[in-house]
Amino acid sequence: MELLEFPENEIWSKRNKWIENEIENSMTGFSYMVSDQASALFYDLQACYSIGAWLSVIVLSVSVIDAHLRETEAMDNKIGTAKLLIEFYEATEDINWLRRLRNTHVHLNIDSPALCMNNQFGDRTILEKDATKAMRMVIKSFFRNPGT
């Protein structure tokens, strides 16, 4: 598959079904409070994952988790993202990994660029693995407090 080609319908469906299964397997209670903004962003995240836009998944995942935790846990739109994630996301090591990975891809370090076009072509497997972990983290953040 070429980078900018739409994946075969079978691949797209498989990825989308995987997300649905992850959501279903994450629900352990009857009700959850999920941020409306995070839910809206999640639809784009799901589309990015299903189509294979791995960098977009990694970058957008932090925003989805941020929106969700800001509205449902912190109730604070002034707290910095790093502090918010560390304080309200249970797996500090994982969320720090995701935040650093996102920052590496978004913020250019001129002396040591972490992202180049070769990554898009040569590192697809690594990017997919990272995007899958990021997607799991987003879903986990939505379903961490059943019964709320």
pLDDT per residue over 100-120, tens digit each?
Answer: 999 888 887 788 767 666 666
Residue 32 lies in a domain: yes
pLDDT in tens, 53-104: 999 999 999 999 988 888 888 787 777 777 777 777 777 788 889 989 998 8
Q: If phi over 0 gives left and psi between -120 and 50 gives alpha, with beta otherwise, what is residue 33? A: beta
31-48 mean pLDDT: 90
Residue 95 lies in a domain: yes
For residues 63 and 19, the answer to whether their CB atoms sit within 8 Å is: no
pLDDT in tens, 128-146: 999 999 999 999 888 876 6
Residue 94 lies in a domain: yes
Residue 3 lies in a domain: no
Q: How far apart are CA 16 and CA 32, in angstroms?
A: 22
Residue 56 lies in a domain: yes
Residue 102 lies in a domain: yes
Residue 66 lies in a domain: yes
Q: How far apart are CA 44 and CA 42, in angstroms?
A: 5
Closest residue by Cα to residue 10 from 126, 57, 1: 1
Predicted TM-score (pTM) of the model is 0.84
Range of the domain at 120: 9-142
Alpha-carbon dihedral of residues 16, 21, 22, 26, nearest 10 degrees? 150
Number of domains into which the chain is organized: 1
Residue 97 lies in a domain: yes
